[in-house]
Chains A and B, each alone.
Chain A
Amino acid sequence: MTLHVVPSSTAASPAVAVTHLYRAYGSRVVIENLNLRIERGEFVALLGESGCGKTTLLRALAGLDPIDGGRIAAPRRPAVVFQEHRLLPWDTLWRNVALGLQAADARERAAAALAEVGLGDRLDDWPRNLSGGEAQRVALARALMQEPELLLLDEPFAALDALTRIRMHHLVRELVATHRPGVLLVTHDVDEAIALADRILVMRDGRIAFEHRTSGHGARSIARAELLAELGVVASHPIPA
């Protein structure tokens, strides 16, 4: 087992640099010789079938699981938004957002973060009074509170309804534009990846099998078909974009 996260702090350093990452559960290799570099301000989406190792990669980057070989270099501890909001039910919203923050003005800063996600008037409300989308917005505010250089999103919109999801996409784009962390979004949703990411990766058999840089609108439908093909989805008739 090697050291987890190697601190690196030069100004030009990327949000995260992964080299020759190796991870196995017993004899089953989940990640093999994976290389990945995410710049600050860059939005990377990671697609892949269930069990391809994308969640394992995210957990390794988050420092939640050990790695068995290779190197992860990140300037600081990354922030994570999970599929579930993971709000503490016994804490009010502002205390949830300020969790882990050591500051005298924690409440003011939490208030600002909540205002940024449109919940500035609910500082003292309880998590149980939130809708799914609202709870996930609080989770986003909590992650961005720490001004992370790397933001890991583990299918954070998967449990939301279609309309709420679209609103969340807009919000995330705005927040990332303001705070400019490097983002790694793990998702099953090809359209979500296209809508949000600067760069889309497809993971297969423990490595990055395909990479696509999103560009102008015209390229989108082509990208979609290509990405779906990479994911093993063959469309019998064209799907409107």
Chain B
Amino acid sequence: MSNLEQTASSVAFDAAQPSDNAVSRARKVPFEIGRRGLLLLSWLAPVVLLIVWELLAQAGWLSPQVLPAPSKVLRTAFKLAASGSLLNDLGISLLRAIGGFTIGASIGFALGILVGFSRIAEAAIDRSVQMIRAIPFLALLPLVIVWLGVGEAEKIFLVALGVAFPIYINTTLGIRQIDPKLIELGRVQGLGTLDLIRRIVLPGALPSILTGVRYALATAWLALVVAETIGAQSGIGFLAMDAREFLRTDVIVLTIVIYALIGVAADAIARTLERRLLAWHPNYGGTR
């Protein structure tokens, strides 16, 4: 509740007392709202939606079994966090995601480099990988459960499977897209194979690889949600399934919100990586 009020009051404050800068700009160009204004506007709809939702729930128009009030979800979050079970489950989910991502990304990256460099490796590997990729990886779930049961191995395997393909494809693509003229230059400057890879191939493929990482982060999360929904004894997904048994809609909504927040955080990490590593790139880095 307190969070919500804060946001709402700051909106009112900004609208009532715009900065001098905004005023002078508004005077010059009557129809320009400015970047600040657009930012506020973009937050307006979600905030209004939350308020309406809260009011409807408070008024009893929304049954708490269908959709609990945002304030109720927030209270549940504090309660679960205080008992320690929320952090515990969150930690377990994150560990699964990180473990699966690391394994899947390593495999995808290694295969991608191999296939990107060698036509022979491409002939040997690429078709099989593409065929497996054609299967929606979640369709493999029943088979994976038969193989690995419903333990940690199954969950990490699913995440790794979802992650490996986007990384593989984008690594291969990135290496293929490198300007052959730059490779030629490397040879003229007397670079050996290792230096050629280090100084020209990998930096050149990096934008594409990072795109793969961003995509893979989203897939990893999706895989984890599905894996934890089935036969988990811990984790955010387990929390949701357990809550379903007891019709605790507030806990279910909370888990959905947590999944969303972590998804946003993962994307932010990927963007930061892009900004840092691609500072040279006109489309990513800031101007210097």
Report A's interface with B, CB cutoff 8 A: 62-64, 77, 79-80, 82, 84, 86, 88-91, 99-100, 125-129, 142, 146
On whether the beta carbons of B185 and A82 are closer than 8 Å, the reply is yes
On whether the beta carbons of B184 and A126 are closer than 8 Å, the reply is no
Query: What CA separation (Å) do A99 and B199 show in the bound complex?
Result: 8
Query: What CA separation (Å) do A89 and B181 show in the bound complex?
Result: 13
- Which residues on the A side are within 8 Å of B187 (C-beta)? 63-64
On whether the beta carbons of A99 and B182 are closer than 8 Å, the reply is no
In the assembled complex, the CB of B152 is this many whole angstroms from the nearest CB of chain A, namely 39
Which of A80, A125, A127 is close to B188, meaning CB atoms less than 8 Å apart?
A80
On whether the beta carbons of A86 and B190 are closer than 8 Å, the reply is no
**B21-29, B157-165, B200-208: which one contacts chain A?**
B200-208
Count chain B residues whose beta carbon lies closer than 8 angstroms to a beta carbon of A: 21
On whether the beta carbons of B188 and A62 are closer than 8 Å, the reply is yes
On whether the beta carbons of A100 and B189 are closer than 8 Å, the reply is yes
**B38-46, B232-240, B280-288: which one contacts chain A?**
B280-288
- Which residues on the A side are within 8 Å of B199 (C-beta)? 88, 91, 99
Q: Which residue of A lies closest to B204 (CB)?
A: A90
Which of B181, B186, B281, B282 is close to A99, meaning CB atoms less than 8 Å apart?
B186
Interface pairs (24), CB distance under 8 Å? A62-B188, A64-B187, A77-B188, A77-B190, A79-B188, A82-B181, A86-B181, A86-B184, A88-B182, A88-B200, A89-B280, A89-B281, A90-B203, A90-B204, A90-B206, A90-B280, A91-B199, A99-B185, A99-B186, A99-B189, A100-B186, A100-B190, A100-B191, A128-B280
| Overall SS of chain B's interface | helix
The answer to whether A129 and B288 touch (CB under 8 A), given A88-B200, A89-B280, A99-B199, is yes
Q: Which residue of B lies closest to A81 (CB)?
A: B188
- Which residues on the A side are within 8 Å of B204 (C-beta)? 90
Interface residues of B in 147-203 (CB under 8 A from A): 181-182, 184-191, 195, 199-200, 203
In the assembled complex, the CB of A147 is this many whole angstroms from the nearest CB of chain B, namely 13
Q: A62-B188, A86-B181, A86-B182 are in contact. List 14 more A-B contacts (CB 8 A).
A: A64-B184, A77-B188, A77-B190, A79-B188, A88-B182, A88-B199, A90-B206, A90-B278, A90-B280, A91-B280, A99-B189, A99-B199, A100-B186, A146-B190
In the assembled complex, the CB of B230 is this many whole angstroms from the nearest CB of chain A, namely 44
In the assembled complex, the CB of A37 is this many whole angstroms from the nearest CB of chain B, namely 22
- Which residues on the B side are within 8 Å of A89 (C-beta)? 280-281
- Which residues on the A side are within 8 Å of B200 (C-beta)? 88
- Which residues on the B side are within 8 Å of A77 (C-beta)? 188, 190
Query: What CA separation (Å) do A89 and B178 show in the bound complex?
Result: 12
Report B's interface with A, CB cutoff 8 A: 181-182, 184-191, 195, 199-200, 203-204, 206, 278, 280-282, 288
Q: Which residue of A lies closest to B277 (CB)?
A: A90
- Which residues on the B side are within 8 Å of A128 (C-beta)? 280, 282
On whether the beta carbons of A126 and B288 are closer than 8 Å, the reply is yes
- Which residues on the B side are within 8 Å of A146 (C-beta)? 189-190
Query: What CA separation (Å) do A142 and B191 show in the bound complex?
Result: 13
Closest 3 CB pairs of A and B: A100-B189, A90-B203, A86-B185
In the assembled complex, the CB of A159 is this many whole angstroms from the nearest CB of chain B, namely 14
- Which residues on the B side are within 8 Å of A79 (C-beta)? 188
In the assembled complex, the CB of B190 is this many whole angstroms from the nearest CB of chain A, namely 5
Query: What CA separation (Å) do A80 and B204 show in the bound complex?
Result: 21
In the assembled complex, the CB of B196 is this many whole angstroms from the nearest CB of chain A, namely 10
- Which residues on the A side are within 8 Å of B181 (C-beta)? 82, 84, 86
Query: What CA separation (Å) do A49 and B203 show in the bound complex?
Result: 38
Query: What CA separation (Å) do A91 and B200 show in the bound complex?
Result: 10
The answer to whether A64 and B188 touch (CB under 8 A), given A99-B199, A126-B288, A129-B288, is yes
- Which residues on the A side are within 8 Å of B182 (C-beta)? 86, 88
Which of B188, B191, B280 is close to A126, meaning CB atoms less than 8 Å apart?
B280
Query: What CA separation (Å) do A129 and B287 show in the bound complex?
Result: 9
Query: What CA separation (Å) do A174 and B278 show in the bound complex?
Result: 37
Query: What CA separation (Å) do A79 and B188 show in the bound complex?
Result: 7
Query: What CA separation (Å) do A100 and B199 show in the bound complex?
Result: 9
